[in-house]
Homo-oligomer: A and B are copies of this chain.
Amino acid sequence: CISQDIDHILETQSALAVDLGGTNLRVAIVSMTGKIMKKYTQANPKTYEERIALILSMCKEALKDAVHLNCRILGVGVSTGGRVNPQEGVVLHSTKLIQEWSSVDIRSPISDTLHLPVWVDNDGNCAALAERKFGHGKGVENFVAIITGTGIGGGIVQHNELIHGSTFCAAELGHIMVSLDGPECLCGSRGCIEAYASGMALQRETKRLHDEDLLIVEGLSVKNEEPVNAIHLINAARLGNTKAESVLKTAGTALGVGIVNILHTVNPSLVILSGVLASHYEQPVQQVIRQRALSSAQGIQVMTSDLDEPALLGAASMVLDYSTRRTY
């Protein structure tokens, strides 16, 4: 009947986006225009079974809410830490931040239960996809996205497409090493930019300073039992704590040197930083580029993302780009 057809037309084409991070498991309903219609957050469970069960129950809840929001869900996009084979929808090797998550088929349980098509990619790659569709990467042929959260992820767009490499290990930019030794990294190596500049690395250094009674300065207080983190470190540095400044300076230098290595390898025209620490890193990264990049690479633009949720938006973009390509 006619009224149903009109209802159908008035629905917003949307995606379910799932983001599996080192800390949280998040699901969102994302519209075609990149608007997050509703978002759900839980702690990411520690076991495979609980994690899959929670993904499914959160997605089911979101599907119900989508009806009331008049959103038509075209499919599910999943962003996860670890190396992903997006053709198969499988996590090959996880990061240590997510346990029981290697050689895991994510696509089958979700598509079998929800009867929707499912796309999966690495979180850094999703951040790049989000920039390409909704952010500073729109229309840019060659760019790199670097997202700093608990860890550091990256994605490389060349000729407008993500590169995955010969074994789905391209753009593992958090594990670019800038020291022959340097701090230990969760990946098993040392001196990775993730071990210098991630939220986790800054938290480790903040805790070390706090344990040695070197963190607190006038104007800064930490409640008893409150775990210290990168924000305390940044505030301490702002209030004149030179030790905190020095930790942040090393982190910025390490990230900058890692980015120069990327410039000297794939030479993009734009680097987009995202994640809570992005705005703190933009200026030190630009300084390192001026000091240490070849003159031919100096023209690079470094920008801070203006997207609130790059991983979720990138996960959604896999659904929206593919589905609309098929539909129209």
Say how many copies of this protein the assembly contains.
2
- A167-B250 contact given A175-B264, A265-B176, A265-B265, CB 8 Å threshold: no
A257 and B180 contacting across the interface, CB-CB below 8 Å = yes
Question: How far apart sit A307 and B39, CA to CA, in the bound complex (Å)?
Answer: 58
Identify which of B175, B189, B260 contacts A177 (C-beta below 8 A): B260
A241 at interface, CB cutoff 8 A: no
| Closest chain B residue to A254, Cβ basis | B180
Most chain B CB atoms below 10 A, which of A169, A171, A176: A169
A168 at interface, CB cutoff 8 A: yes
Q: Which residues from B are CB-within-8-Å of A163? A: 158, 266-267
Question: How far apart sit A285 and B257, CA to CA, in the bound complex (Å)?
Answer: 21
A296 and B156 contacting across the interface, CB-CB below 8 Å = no
B267 and A168 contacting across the interface, CB-CB below 8 Å = yes
Question: How far apart sit A276 and B239, CA to CA, in the bound complex (Å)?
Answer: 54
Question: How far apart sit A166 and B294, CA to CA, in the bound complex (Å)?
Answer: 13
B267 and A180 contacting across the interface, CB-CB below 8 Å = no
Q: Which residues from B are CB-within-8-Å of A222? A: none
CB distance from A147 to the nearest CB of B (A): 15
Chain A residues packing against B (C-beta within 8 Å): 83, 92-93, 141-142, 156, 158, 163-173, 175-180, 187-191, 250, 253-254, 257, 260-269, 291-297, 299
List 16 contacting pairs A-B, 8 Å CB cutoff, sorted by A. Answer: A83-B294, A93-B295, A156-B266, A166-B268, A169-B263, A169-B296, A172-B297, A173-B264, A176-B265, A177-B260, A179-B179, A180-B253, A180-B254, A189-B293, A191-B257, A261-B261
